[in-house]
A = this chain, B = another copy of it.
Amino acid sequence: MPHTLGELARALGLQVHGDPDLTITGAAEPAAAGPEELALASTPAYAEALARGRARAAMLWDGADWRALGLAGALCPARPRFAMAGLTAALDPGPGFAPGRHPSAVVDPRAEIGPDVSIGPLAVIEAGARIGAGAVIGPQCYVGADAAVGPGALLREGVRIAARVRIGARVVAQPGCVVGGDGFSFVTPSEAGVEQARAALSGEVAPAPAQSWERIHSLGAVSVGDDVEIGANSCIDRGTIRDTVIGDGTKLDNLVQIGHNVVVGRDCLFAGQVGVAGSTRIGDHVVLGGQVGVADNLQVGDNAVIAAGSKVLSNVPAGRVMLGYPATRLDAQVDSYKALRRLPRLFRDVAALKKAVSKADGSD
């Protein structure tokens, strides 16, 4: 995978500054870069460390004076962060899977395997499954009966795609993720304490005869759109009657939980350990920070941004930025936090006022 600076520039649609024939074997931070590594220094502050490394070429910022930094060549993109996408794609060594179908894989003869599909060691593909052209089914993966994996998808090691689930084109599924576990839906013969508590918002549940939970089975599956990413050990549950849906281009980080019947729009970004409870609908281009929770049966509008750690307990309008537990508008929440910090002083002020007023009354 050795490149030249000129080849990289062409791949990224950028102009090359200086010597286009410099060999580039990888990328590195400025201080750690070797003579054939492209140093990444997107701001003048990062560029200071170039002197401590041995890079001869770097990716800098628009208008950077690369010669003054002692370099023999440079790329100077207008948005360095975006240029990282193309650059890292060009230099990615990949997951290290051998191509072809490993003889230890257990592939049911009734599965339909498209052209140029790779299937890793000890993978299982069940009857009726359909694998699209060029897809990579990693080692120890599972693709259930009548499931469909789109063309160009990459399932990393140990991914579980359950029966009847549909996975779109070019989806990347990280190790250990599970698509198509059963929804978590249980019901008692009569109303349970938790139903009373939700209805009454009271602090106690009335004593009631003990009941056991009956399982509501999941008849739906999961439908994952094109260009979706699913993080390591994340879970997306089946729907009860219809499919749980993840829209095109949406990216889920690790250990994310998507409950039954949830519908997520397109191009959303859910950070690590997010949880979305059953039957909630999330719009397009929504960003959920790390460890955000969204309660069940809610609606979150397009373009909403929910800050890390927030717990959303009510509907969120489009374009709203939210923070806190329970989540409220970010600016109002910040005001509340500030007020909370100043509370001890307020208590002292009120105590002093009471004294002053009672003295003025002469009632003491």
Given contacts A82-B214, A205-B320, 4 further A-B contacts (CB under 8 A): A203-B321, A204-B320, A255-B255, A340-B343
- Nearest CB in chain B to that of A211: its residue: B267
Asked if B269 and A194 make an inter-chain contact with CB atoms under 8 angstroms apart, the answer reads yes
- Nearest CB in chain B to that of A181: its residue: B232
Alpha-carbon distance A296/B272, docked complex (angstroms)? 11
Checking B184, B186, B241, B357 against A254 with a beta-carbon cut-off of 8 angstroms, the contacting residue is: B184
Alpha-carbon distance A354/B214, docked complex (angstroms)? 56
Alpha-carbon distance A253/B303, docked complex (angstroms)? 29
Digitize A316-343: 1 where CB-to-B-CB distance is under 8 Å, 0 elsewhere.
0001110011101111101111011111
Which range contains the number of A residues in contact with the other chain?
A: 35 or more
Q: How many whole Å from A330's CB to the nearest CB in chain B? A: 5
A-B contact pairs, 26 of them (CB 8 A): A32-B242, A40-B241, A84-B216, A86-B214, A172-B215, A176-B176, A176-B178, A181-B231, A184-B231, A193-B303, A194-B269, A197-B321, A202-B330, A205-B305, A213-B267, A232-B237, A235-B254, A277-B290, A277-B308, A308-B311, A309-B325, A332-B341, A339-B340, A346-B346, A356-B361, A357-B357
Alpha-carbon distance A139/B184, docked complex (angstroms)? 22
Digitize A340-364: 1 where CB-to-B-CB distance is under 8 Å, 0 elsewhere.
1111101101100110110011000
Q: A190-B79, A233-B178, A344-B339 in contact; A160/B158 too (CB < 8 A)?
A: yes
Checking B82, B88, B140, B335 against A218 with a beta-carbon cut-off of 8 angstroms, the contacting residue is: B88
Asked if A295 and B321 make an inter-chain contact with CB atoms under 8 angstroms apart, the answer reads no
- For the complex, is A259 an interface residue (Cβ under 8 Å from B)? yes
Asked if A176 and B233 make an inter-chain contact with CB atoms under 8 angstroms apart, the answer reads yes
